[in-house]
Amino acid sequence: MLLDLNEDEALVKGSLEQFTAGALRPRIKPFADRHEFPIELVKEFLALGFMGTAYDPAFGGGGLGTRGAAIVAETLARAEPGFAAIFLCNSAPMTVIARYGSDDLKRKWLEPLCRGDFIASFGVTEPSGGSDVASVKMRAVEDGDSFVLSGSKVFSTNAGTPLHGITTFVAVTDPDLGAKGLSTFVVPVGTPGFRVGKASRKIGWRVADSVELFLDDCRVPKANMVGNRGDGLRQILTTLSIGRILVAATGLGLARKAIDLAKVYGSGRQVGGTPIFQHQGLTFPLADALTKIHAAELMIRNAACLADADRPFRLETSMAKLFATEMAGEAADIALQVHGGYGAFEEFDVSSLPGEARVLRILEGTSEIQRLVIAREFTA
CATH 1.10.540.10 fits 7-119, yes or no: yes
| pLDDT beyond 60 at 213 | yes
pLDDT at 109: 98
| pLDDT beyond 90 at 248 | yes
Residue 131 pLDDT grade (very low, low, confident, very high; cuts 50, 70, 90): low
When pLDDT is averaged across residues 205-221 and rounded to a whole number, the result is 97
What does R_g of the chain's alpha carbons equal in angstroms?
21
Average model confidence (pLDDT) across the chain: 95
pLDDT at 240: 95
Q: How far is CA 50 from CA 6, 115, 178, 324, in A?
A: 17, 9, 38, 23
| pLDDT beyond 60 at 345 | yes
Q: Tens of pLDDT along 182-209? A: 999 999 999 999 999 998 899 999 999 9
**Extents of the domains making up the chain:** 7-119, 121-229, 233-379
When pLDDT is averaged across residues 352-373 and rounded to a whole number, the result is 95
Q: Tens of pLDDT along 249-276? A: 999 999 999 999 999 998 888 777 778 8
Residue 127 pLDDT grade (very low, low, confident, very high; cuts 50, 70, 90): confident
pLDDT at 236: 94
364 is catalytic: yes
pLDDT at 178: 87
| pLDDT beyond 90 at 176 | yes
DSSP string spanning 26-54? Answer: HHSHHHHHHT---HHHHHHHHHTTGGGTT
Question: Can you list the positions of beta strands (E) in 80-145?
Answer: 119-123, 139-143
Helix/strand/coil percent split, the chain, to 5: 60, 15, 25
Residues with Cβ within 8 Å of residue 165, at least 6 apart in sequence: 112, 113, 117, 118, 119, 120, 188, 189
pLDDT at 2: 63
pLDDT at 39: 98
Q: Tens of pLDDT along 296-338? A: 999 999 999 999 999 999 999 999 999 999 999 999 999 999 9
Residue 280 pLDDT grade (very low, low, confident, very high; cuts 50, 70, 90): confident
74, 364, 368, 377: which one is catalytic?
Answer: 364
Q: Where does 121-229 sit in CATH, by number?
A: 2.40.110.10
pLDDT at 4: 85
**How many residues are there in the chain?**
380
Q: Tens of pLDDT along 54-81? A: 999 999 999 999 999 999 999 999 999 9
Residue 241 pLDDT grade (very low, low, confident, very high; cuts 50, 70, 90): very high
What class, spelled out in words, does domain 233-379 have in CATH? mainly alpha
| pLDDT beyond 60 at 114 | yes
